[in-house]
Chains A and B, each alone.
Chain A
Amino acid sequence: MTAQPALELRNTLRRFGSVVAVNNVSLSVGKGEFVTLLGPSGSGKTSTLRLIGGFEELDGGSILLNGQRIDHLPAYQRDTATIFQSGALFPHKTVAENVAFGLRMRKVPKDEMAKRISQSLETVRLKGYEDRYPAQLSGGQKQRVALARSLAVRPAILLFDEPLSALDLSLRLQLRAEIKRLHDELKFSAIYVTHDQGEAMAMSSRVAVMNTGSIEQIDTPETVFHAPSSEFVYTFIGESCCLPVRITASGVQDKKGETIGIVLGERLAEGDCRIYVRPSRLRLISDAAALPNRLTARIHFIEFLGDVYRYHLKAGALELAADHAGSIGKSVGDVIVIGWRTEDMRVFR
């Protein structure tokens, strides 16, 4: 066997009444690995994290931390540390007292404690804020303190519960980079729960995409993005256009049964299917002419997104969007040809 994983979930199960929130989830996080649980709300990612932290009771399966079963232990005996969405800083304690809390509970000696407090505050770049109260900090600073508080106890695994989702965009990007930097530096093991695919992609060693209580796919961010194992993973990660079509002997129809002007490079089996392409992979007019897959569509409206123009198109009952850097000199109502490479297209039935 390879090195012992920091954390292992074996067939974990959690029910809320008749709802199965976590359905047979098995997962292993190696030492120093940063695994993200990514999924829409209600996919069971937070419940999974709370099972590990000990805030929810396990209904089946087991949880191992450094090879030891911990699922029978109460939260305060588990060597985990959670960074909560709200930060959950103790409002009546100063920054230094907040960071000291876990160390005091673990009976770390005084001088060691002082060292670790200043160390972890330095790590999150909050030196000099020791005597502030949480109410005197900004949202980003609060999350840094929460991170320092969790880092200070040096847990076997850090559990991030959507720590950035309450922050505004620029701060989110900044802290995201900082967590990434800290992980590269300190090599802590972590599970990070988020519904933001950007965060998942940017920070993770591996991404576990969750849906309805189960892990749909777990792999490196690149593989999850480029080789999604299911339609759910494909549509959840990255933007995509969906073309629900019916392939018949006489041609390709939309769902109303009208034949649409689509040319496909490969012959698809007859029947209903959904063709997916990412907006960034669609080529317009002259760029499209030489491509094996083409569709004639009418411009519905145009959005300017900064880097690109996004053309929203309609072909019969089909709707799709295509990105193009710069204007193509066409306007709303014009009929244009779009095309894409066969490897950029995915078909699900």
Chain B
Amino acid sequence: MSATADIDDAAYTARRAAHARRKAMAPWLLMLPALIIVLIFFGIPTLYMVRMSFNLHIDQRLYVPGLTFEHYVNLFSNPLFTTAILTTIKLALIASLATVFIGYCFALLVWLKPARWRLLFIGLALAPLLISEIAIIFGWWMFFPKNGLLSYALIASGLVTNKVSLMYTEFAAFVGLVYVTLPYCFFILLSIFDGIDKRLLEASADLGATPFKSFREVMLPLTWTGILVAFSQSFIWTMGTYATPSALGPDTLWTMGFLIQEQMLGKHNWPMASALAVVLVIGVTGVMVVTRSMQSERNNFHV
């Protein structure tokens, strides 16, 4: 009798183990479609790109298979490229900081306002996403030049007497970048705000905290993760983007995106363009690692 029981126990244990294995498999199975897409359309091309960056560039041919570090050496020794890297980082940093600041204020406002305003604000924030980046650039072309909307508005308001043009300035590039990344930044931050109990602000005031203290002690720590995520997504975007800064900025604004394009299409130097892109990818990864490490370990407060 006990022998049968032992066999049953063994069979039961085996079934339990099989079930546990199936359960452990489930997340991977669910991830599989996305994983396949990411690997085929992002992973493999990236590997090709890395390989390409070590190829030779001889006689105006697009590339010649080989192995050289020449492009990387060139990249970090030629002032043309080092300046471009610095310019890109500077522009991305300033634009991202501004984006996060504006997005934070906007998201805070939407969060604090009664629900009936919410849809309107969210609609406003969504609007730029309905238009392609190229169409937005055309819009800026109507806005910034000497005979543009901005110029007329400034004259009408009496702030300036002569027509001004901000077209093809670093400022225009900066505004363009902020405009493109702001909606994403806003929605990331709003989702974080929505996880916070508004009563916390009342509780904080109730215990004697001034609005500034409440912000510093309660709002900022609770939204810190959101700020970092919004910043890094904004930074990644502005680092890599090509169209907006080259269409709105001055001819001398050579960003990495611009140089990659120029090396690829103008100079027919695919390995150099790839090397630039690899550095860009590594830089962006670095930023992600840094912001990730700046997140508090207990960042799941709302759960």
Which A residues contact B (CB, under 8 angstroms)? Answer: 53-55, 74-77, 80-82, 84, 86, 88-92, 101-102, 105-106, 133, 135, 149-150, 153
Q: Which of B184-202 contact A (CB under 8 A)?
A: 197, 199-200, 202
* A81–B208 CA distance with the chains assembled, in angstroms: 9
28 interchain pairs, CB-CB under 8 A = A55-B202, A55-B205, A74-B205, A75-B202, A75-B205, A76-B205, A76-B209, A76-B210, A76-B214, A77-B208, A82-B202, A84-B202, A84-B203, A88-B197, A88-B199, A88-B203, A90-B200, A90-B204, A90-B218, A91-B222, A91-B301, A92-B296, A92-B298, A101-B207, A105-B207, A105-B213, A106-B208, A135-B303
In this complex, what residue of A is CB-closest to B222?
A92
**Cα distance, A106 to B209, chains bound together (Å):** 8
**A92 touching B197, Cβ below 8 Å:** no
> At the interface, yes or no: B286 with Cβ under 8 Å from chain A?
no
Q: Please determine whether B206 and A81 come into contact, CB atoms closer than 8 angstroms.
A: yes
CA distance A232 to B257 in the complex (A): 74
**Complex contact B208–A90 (CB within 8 A):** no
In the assembled complex, B65 has its CB within 8 A of some CB on chain A: no
In angstroms, Cα B202 to Cα A137, docked, is 21
Chain B residues contacting A106 (CB-CB under 8 Å) are 208
Question: A75, B222: Cβ atoms under 8 Å?
Answer: no
* Given A89-B203, A91-B301, A150-B207, 18 other A-B residues pairs in contact with their CB atoms under 8 A: A75-B205, A76-B206, A76-B207, A76-B214, A81-B206, A88-B199, A88-B202, A90-B217, A92-B301, A101-B204, A101-B209, A102-B207, A105-B207, A105-B208, A105-B213, A133-B298, A135-B303, A153-B208
Smallest Cβ-Cβ distance to B195: which chain A residue:
A91
Q: Cβ of B298: which chain A residues have Cβ within 8 Å of it?
A: 92, 133
Least CB distance from A65 to B in Å reads: 14
Contact B199 A86 (CB under 8 A): yes
> In the bound complex, how far is the Cα of B217 from the Cα of A88, in angstroms?
14
Which of B206, B218, B303 is close to A75, meaning CB atoms less than 8 Å apart? B206
Tell me the B210-232 residues at the A interface (CB within 8 Å): 210-211, 213-214, 217-218, 221-222
Question: Which residues of chain B from 122 to 148 have any CB-CB distance to chain A below 8 Å in the complex?
Answer: none
Pick the most buried of B200, B205, B207: most chain A CB atoms within 10 A of its CB. B207
Report B114 CB to chain A, min CB distance, Å: 11
Contact A90 B203 (CB under 8 A): yes
CB distance from A337 to the nearest CB of B (A): 54
Q: Which residues of B come within 8 Å of A, CB atoms?
A: 197, 199-200, 202-211, 213-214, 217-218, 221-222, 296, 298, 301-303
Cβ-closest chain B residue relative to A92 = B221
Interface centre among B205, B218, B296 (most CB of A within 10 A): B205
The answer to whether A149 touches B207, judged by C-beta atoms less than 8 angstroms apart, is yes
* A80–B203 CA distance with the chains assembled, in angstroms: 11
Chain A residue numbers with a CB within 8 Å of B197 are: 86, 88
Given the contacts A91-B301, A133-B298, A84 and B208 also touching, CB distance less than 8 Å: no
Do B217 and A101 touch across chains, with their CB atoms under 8 A apart?
yes
Q: Which chain A residues lie closer than 8 Å to B209 at the CB level?
A: 76, 101, 105
The CA-CA distance from A84 to B197 in the complex, in Å, is 11
Q: Which residues of B contact A55 (CB under 8 A)?
A: 202, 205-206
From B202, B208, B210, name the one whose CB has the most chain A CB atoms within 10 angstroms. B208
Nearest chain B CB to A114 CB, angstrom units: 17
User: How far, in whole Å, are A149 and B204 apart by their CA atoms in the complex?
Assistant: 11
B213 cross-chain contacts in A, Cβ below 8 A: 105
CA distance A53 to B204 in the complex (A): 12
Tell me the smallest distance from the CB of B299 to a CB of chain A, in Å.
9
A149 to B200, CA, bound (A): 13
Closest-by-CB residue of B relative to A159 is B206
A101 CA / B218 CA spacing, docked (Å): 10
Cα–Cα, bound, A88→B205 (Å): 12
Cβ contacts under 8 Å, A75 to chain B? 202, 205-206
Contact with A53, one of B206, B208, B222, B301 (Cβ below 8 angstroms): B206
B303 / chain A contacts, CB cutoff of 8 Å? 135
- In the complex, what distance in Å separates the CA atom of A248 from the CA atom of B210? 67
Distance (Å) between the CB of A155 and the closest chain B CB?
Answer: 9
Q: Is there contact, CB below 8 Å, between A54 and B205?
A: yes
Query: In the assembled complex, how far is the CB of residue A108 from the closest CB belonging to chain B, in whole angstroms?
Result: 10
